[in-house]
Amino acid sequence: MSDKQQIYKDVRQRIEAIVQDDTDWIATLSTVCCELHAAFEHFHWTGFYRVVRPGHLQVGPYQGGHGCVDIAFGRGVCGTSALEKRTIRLDDVDSFPGHIACSSTTRSEIVTPVVTNSGEVIAVLDVDSDWPAAFDGTDQEALESLCAWLGSASRQNG
């Protein structure tokens, strides 16, 4: 197991220990943001966009500088990830037409949708880095696993 995989394992254990059986959605998402953001040097903006009305993502909770508040499905990296229900990992944000630049220092990004057992997108997890090509397959695998856990039935109601 690589150092990074070990950190993800530790982060995941901490998150699950902290939230335990608490089903409050915002408390859970806040804990995830905090633990991820504090654990990794390459995470410069770490947060969620939640589906608060059909076809729209609303920012929060997050850690880092301000994020744009509302993103329609299909717009930017987050909206595309939500619409297409897939992770988008960009070594260079400028390679993605329509990338929404909330910070001019962002160079790379990974966005993973949170999908319920019934196939509904309820949020996306967005991580931005000021480093180019900051995210690799280990990040993607761990963040997808975390988002699958968040989307599982036990965490949806709060």
* Distance, C-alpha 153 to centroid of its chain: 18
Question: Closest separation between CB of residue 3 and ligand SME, Å?
Answer: 27
- Residues contributing to the site for ligand SME (CB under 6 A): 45, 67-68, 71, 76-79, 99-100, 102, 106, 109, 126, 128
First-to-last alpha carbon distance for the chain, in angstroms, is 34
Q: Which residue has the tokens 């309820």?
A: 122
- Cis before 54 (ω within 30): no
Question: Closest separation between CB of residue 145 and ligand SME, Å?
Answer: 22
Question: Closest separation between CB of residue 35 and ligand SME, Å?
Answer: 18
Nearer to ligand SME, 93 or 146 (CB): 93
SS3 state of residue 57: strand
Nearer to ligand SME, 20 or 42 (CB): 42
- Cα angle 148, 152, 153 (rounded to 5 degrees) comes to 170
| Residues facing 124 on adjacent strands | 49, 113
Question: Closest separation between CB of residue 71 and ligand SME, Å?
Answer: 6
Nearer to ligand SME, 130 or 144 (CB): 130
Nearer to ligand SME, 72 or 154 (CB): 72
